[in-house]
Chain A
């Protein structure tokens, strides 16, 4: 008996019950579709994190106020005010491993130009911010150290802000816009970067001297953070230690006291985010996998019904010379056809779902070829595993009893 003939027989048998066949497949289609989409989301976010890091530069170091957060305990606002401009100056004058450094303070609010409004932020930084973030001023000029000293009322706008505040396309340079109630002169426009891989608009950004944000907007005497870039990517760890020492001395912390600030390198951060996202991916894939399992049980259920229903047919086939193995193979092939066809349709469904997620939710997604191969293998396995019991049941029927079955 050759497999080709058994294939014909199996396809014919499935064709006799198309609706049932499709409904059985639906379980697998949904299962596989879900697995593909979930893995695509997981892979996509992992990739975007990686891309983000290389965009920002893996030598980036972030200093944040407050002790390292543990167990989600919230810190009082006092604890979040531990970074002072003096700390920044101390690092600038003492640290040896740092290429560029900027304090960061930001204020949320409404940007206004005449009748045009746009809600965004004012990002308070110094002149080195551009080097750290690898950005450029495309038109006009960056503000100067002098502007920082005097807390000058100037700003550099990103493309998105320019588009929203100057919809008529007029040249923003030299114009005065308001951020909240504070008038700021536009002295430059940032280079256009578009959306990053995380789906964030990198042009929705306005740079203001950090002193302006501190004194004129927020009226605070502390920094929200400090960003720096290490000279040597491979010596980030040592640079972090160096900064820690400087800050501990600055803050006059005793040996037994914990740091009241937190330093993270981009590398560390990346690892943290990526491990959370890996965990999410595993969880999502598990849920999807369970639905695939349910699909498999659906196949088994239908195959058992089908074997019972077709007892007479099985008896007849045996009486004209089909061996137990032939019958077994036929039913296994039927199960595998259902699961594999369901798998292929599921992969398509998953791909379409993934594409829709990308289109409508702007999530970073990527279908990994290995997840397609995996789904395919799993489907075949499901067909074999869940088809085995009904097929064995069919092949063990006694031909005489089977043919008399009513």
Chain B
């Protein structure tokens, strides 16, 4: 039996907007094991981002239990949650969120700057290694604004890998990219999955479910389906067969 990385039980998240209560999550439960590549799917407003923010310890649920890597997150203070984010989670955002005017290497080093147990030397070594992993070994010193969208997202992925997180959380990571670049990024995620990384990939694009090992469907804050995928398609093949554009 694989290790439980994430376990949530009856997770609810309500937002008070004026007099009304928006129920973004209405009781969600699942367990994610080490080495899974889970896509979370649903239409816009179905609660995907809210769920991911909660899993990423950025948001606290209104009620329900959450265990990350065996640790109960409920009741943790702000600083403790910051520490968890720093040590156990790798975040990837739709709009990359790289620091402007900053090199790829420095962007990737960023999470380790907030971890005083990592020395400066180790920091740059690890950042460089992660950039090589995502195929940017030649662009260590390129500034973020000198790179294409796909390259920026690769930097963001390297940044999410650099702290050896127990889980990688991606929110619409290919949302801003064209099809071809999306597939190259997806190829990268599949490679990380093969290497044994645990990934949660949030998307509203149903097609992407074909490339993950498990798909959870959300609708109006409920899980409507949770299915394993035994026939994972290769993103790399699709990528190769796509006509090359000027990238």
Contact = CB atoms under 8 A, between A and B. Distances in A.
Nearest to B86: A321
A1 interface: yes
A310 to B, nearest CB: 9
Nearest to B107: A316
Interface residues on B, range: 20 to 34
B113 A5 contact: yes
Contacts of A326: 82, 114
B111 A320 contact: yes
B132 interface: no
B82 A322 contact: yes
A5 B100 CA distance: 18
A325 interface: yes
A192 interface: no
B56 interface: yes
B116 A2 contact: yes
A320 B84 CA distance: 9
B85 A319 contact: yes
B71 interface: no
Given A5-B113, A16-B101, A313-B99, A320 B79 contact: no
Contact of B59 (A1, A5, A316, A400): A400
A12 B102 contact: yes
Nearest to A2: B116
A403 interface: yes
Interface in B91-133: 91, 93, 97, 99-102, 106, 110-111, 113-116
A12 B102 CA distance: 9
Contacts of A316: 93, 97, 99
B86 A320 contact: yes
B53 interface: yes
B113 A403 contact: no
A313 B100 CA distance: 9
Contacts of A323: 78-79, 82-83, 114
Interface string B139-177: 000000000000000000001000100000000000000
A281 to B, nearest CB: 46
A5 B116 contact: yes
Given A1-B116, A400-B53, A320 B59 contact: no
Contacts of A399: 58
A349 B106 CA distance: 36
B87 interface: yes
A320 B78 contact: no
Given A12-B102, A316-B99, A400-B53, A321 B111 contact: yes
Nearest to A316: B97
Contacts of A8: 113
Contact of B110 (A1, A320, A325, A403): A320
Interface in A317-336: 317-326
B97 A1 contact: no
A324 B97 contact: no
B79 A324 contact: yes
Nearest to B118: A5
A290 to B, nearest CB: 36
A405 to B, nearest CB: 11
Interface residues of A, number: 24
Nearest to A6: B113
B99 A324 contact: no
Nearest to B97: A316
Contacts of A319: 56, 58, 85, 91, 97
A106 B221 CA distance: 103
A110 B59 CA distance: 91
B101 A320 contact: no
Contact of A321 (B59, B82, B93, B106): B82
B77 to A, nearest CB: 10
A9 interface: yes
Contacts of B97: 312, 315-316, 319, 403
A313 B93 CA distance: 13
A16 B100 CA distance: 9
B79 A325 contact: yes
Contacts of B99: 313, 316
Contacts of A312: 97
A317 B115 CA distance: 12
A274 to B, nearest CB: 55
A8 B109 CA distance: 12
A318 B82 contact: yes
Contacts of B53: 400
B216 to A, nearest CB: 21
A239 B115 CA distance: 79
Interface in B53-77: 53, 56, 58-59
Contacts of A9: 113
Contacts of A1: 113-116
A275 to B, nearest CB: 56
Given A312-B97, A318-B82, A400 B114 contact: no
Contacts of B86: 320-322
Question: Nearest 6 A-B pairs (CB), nearest first?
Answer: A321-B86, A323-B82, A320-B111, A2-B116, A316-B97, A5-B113
Interface of B: 53, 56, 58-59, 78-79, 82-83, 85-87, 91, 93, 97, 99-102, 106, 110-111, 113-116, 159, 163
Interface of A: 1-2, 5, 8-9, 12, 16, 312-313, 315-326, 399-400, 403
Given A320-B91, A321-B85, A399-B58, 6 more contacts: A2-B116, A313-B100, A319-B85, A321-B87, A323-B78, A326-B114
